[in-house]
Chain A
């Protein structure tokens, strides 16, 4: 290694390299962002996600400032000035109250945080599991590929939402995080890994892979330095899809009344159905619509972002 010690070939200092890397990364991000914002629906998705994030932040602030805990607590609140419950919207309770006298808006806001926790747990687990399974399959091929593909094809036979409902019913103290973990494990090893493996095969066929082999890169080095950066956009896409479907599955778990650790929009709908039928007062639209809309819009937001990301990850989909 005489060439490296030669002053003529001095490499850049660590700081300079970092600077160059940041500038490059920023440029890449700006380019991707431009492609992303060409899709109007994707921007709509970003806006929806921001609104939900604000909702999650707003609840504790409102509880500690304006809202009296006695009236607005999402679990135990009860307004004795308003009888009978459920009451339709008025100036104090903006979305009315449910049969148990709880404020609907407060419940709606309080449900946002566990939903985000579940969504992000599921997304991160999905991405990690899918990357760990798909990169070796695409790199080693042969027997490793055979074993891993069979594993993926087996996992896809197991419907994750139903497994979540069963586990939620069996272990009743499961919160958002373990449920998200289960969802991430099943979908990550199943559908996400299958999609990522195909993308990995395309990456493996690119010319720079051969260059990396010839210059003596080890298996680990190639997988981490060459496969991983090329597959990260697709992993991000899978994460968004995972959030969007895991949240719906989480709604099932509480909707069937089998598990009610965390407050959830599914609980809202379940209670509205249950007490609406018992009281015979007909459907409680002011409880049902916010709960159902929250689910749909949350899921829709992440789905639309995933579509925008798909255009960033896959150049073939872009409009010229």
Chain B
């Protein structure tokens, strides 16, 4: 298994380099002139040449390419149109996005899995058909419209005027109670970072501990207990630092994009789970299990659902670009100050370096999620775990 994971990791690095090269050429195609032409209008000819030289724009193409690639591995994404380093902007907008993306994807995956399992198990019928149709309808809904509806009916205020002006100035959290923040030095963005960091670290620790318990002590911890422990510990940490009212305010602000994102994306998982479960239910070993007289719940959970989950994991990474595009659109629609607000604000100002930086981060995020899915597949599928020679047989 370790060998498999190391192999996957190096394959990801190669894909990352390929992706960066692709992005380099896309940028060369999209940029209207070079950086100096676009943003340094008030310089004379000599100054322009000096600037070009200092930025390395007079070098031949392959040297520029080398500078760009090596710069990215040093964390240098270039300068935005406003003179900020793009990496600084990414640092600002990444935590709010992940605050919606990670829990949203997990919850949507859970709901989709449950509903898919359930509809496939029930077979044809009015209720299953209606659930399927509802899932598909939400999945094919126009995301900004869905976001607006959610904001209109559930938001404290339906102020969904988007990206006017945009850019750096527009990065405030929506729907936070202003009175709360007047009396403190804390900024919403710092609190969002704290919320994200504590939640991530605590969840990782809890997951690893429960895995170890299961592996060595044979103690199965139910998923709801894990969720309870995570929530309790995280809230305790906030309470200790005295940031809990602010953290809860940020979370209630995040509920809007989170709800929209879940509504939009659970249908995909549901459909794949449904068809994969229907396929599994026709297998011989299900008939054997039925004939043995095993309880229906055991057949459904241990025999069918576990095997049906594998294709779902491998298909999930195919819909990953659409999930990420969806979250960017939703963020922009409800004014959430993540990558969505950033990318469209930057586009409004024709600030191509920032746009490309954000697009690059989206690609890297997709790569990381994919690596995670590979690990999950290896965990679930003994064929991958024990047979190192098996080629990654994802569909």
Contacts and interface: CB of A to CB of B under 8 A. Distances in A.
Interface stretch (A106-114, A121-129, A132-140, A162-170): A162-170
Given A256-B344, A288-B145, A158 B136 contact: no
A159 B282 CA distance: 35
A273 interface: yes
Contact of A317 (B141, B278, B347): B278
A252 B329 contact: yes
A166 B30 contact: yes
B395 interface: yes
A151 B21 CA distance: 12
Contacts of B344: 165, 256
B325 A154 contact: no
A310 interface: yes
Nearest to A256: B344
B273 interface: no
A248 B139 CA distance: 11
B182 interface: no
A63 interface: no
A194 B394 CA distance: 9
A177 interface: no
B30 A156 contact: no
B189 to A, nearest CB: 23
Contacts, number: 138
Interface residues of A, number: 54
A157 interface: yes
Interface string B299-324: 00000000000000000011111101
A167 B317 contact: no
B124 to A, nearest CB: 8
Contacts of B132: 41
B347 A165 contact: yes
A41 B19 contact: no
Interface string A129-150: 0000000000000000000001
Interface stretch (B94-102, B362-370, B376-384): B362-370
Contacts of A170: 30, 32, 347, 350, 352
B145 to A, nearest CB: 4
Interface of A: 40-41, 150-151, 153-163, 165-167, 169-170, 190-191, 194-195, 198, 244-245, 248-249, 251-252, 255-256, 258, 265-266, 269, 273, 277, 283, 288, 291-292, 295-296, 299-300, 303-304, 307, 310, 316-317, 319
Given A170-B30, A194-B318, 19 more contacts: A150-B11, A151-B18, A153-B15, A154-B18, A157-B15, A158-B19, A159-B359, A166-B347, A166-B355, A166-B359, A191-B319, A248-B142, A256-B347, A269-B145, A288-B145, A295-B145, A300-B140, A303-B136, A319-B124
